Amino acid sequence: MTAADQRTNSPTPAPGGTAQLAGRTVARIGFGAMQLEQRAVGPDTALAILRLAVREGINHIDTAHFYGPCNTFIHDALAPYPDDLVLVSKVGADREADGKLVPAQRPEQLRAQIEANLATLGAGHVGVVNLRRLDAQPGLIAEGDQRVDLNSQLAELTALRDAGKIGAIGLSNVSANQLRQALPAGIACVQNLYSILDRSAEPVLELCREHGIAWVPFFPLGSGFPNRPKATDNPTVVSIAKELGATPAQVALAWLLAHYDNTLLIPGTSDPAHLAENIAAGSLRLSRASVTALDQLTTPD
């Protein structure tokens, strides 16, 4: 039975409700494939969790060719792809033969990465491609000939969109000024570091609100870096979770969903129980008092 057959024969509610992404209706809780690479899971585990995610109503999967074997996992698990599945990939970095992650910001490199994504996904086009800028932390910083102006990159991605290789253009790790500069190209979504404890990207989110752009926070629990506060450890989050009979992670994710109607979450996991927990966060309803308390949280100095 194909993934499409599974969805047709077993319709399920969209986790977290729905929102628009590049003109497509997607579940607000998607799946981030990067965890499959980071945790170095085997093919059997990866394929099983991807198939389970789709059966549970997830139809928005975030990946990248430079996430190691993730695209191959997605192809082997889900191809031929269901019509309602939106695959979102990322360009801007690449891996050398020894596995080292390096910047790949030049227009010709962006094109090569998109072709690599198409090949490993076994797809004729990718629904959305996010351009990962490397101007600021977290992660790699572009230097030398990798410091490329945004307009040159957008011109290349626009040409690829016009050619039907990609459906829409997204941005990742950008400032409000960069998003404003890119708006004429037509931006479908923005992926930035953002959580209940780290709202330094709030100006970018406000611009997304203004233009109805999908907002996809990465590291939404604040746990992507060592020695940084984690939402799941915050006393207010823990207290509210206890009152609701939920987990702290579910409370933090539910707050993100409540903060902006066009927020899409892409938590990743290789554990079915953890997948179920993430999906259940989409049904958690926070009281007005809880939202007010959570709104007041900030990252400690």
Active-site residue set: 67
Count of CB atoms within 10 A of residue 141's CB?
12
Are the beta carbons of 11 and 82 closer than 8 angstroms? no
State the Cα–Cα distance between residues 206 and 262, nearest whole angstrom. 12
Degrees to nearest 5, angle at CA 140 with 138 and 143:
130
What is 3-16 written as a DSSP string? HHHHHHHS--PPTT
| Extended beta strands in 17-175, E state | 18-21, 24-27, 31-32, 60-62, 86-91, 93-95, 101-103, 128-132, 169-172
| E strand or H helix at 127 | none
Are the beta carbons of 170 and 130 closer than 8 angstroms? yes
Are the beta carbons of 87 and 61 closer than 8 angstroms? yes
Place of tokens 């690599």: 116
Q: Which of these, 246, 201, 202, 196, lies nearest to 220 by C-alpha position?
A: 196
Bridge-based pairing state of the strands 169-172 and 31-32: unpaired
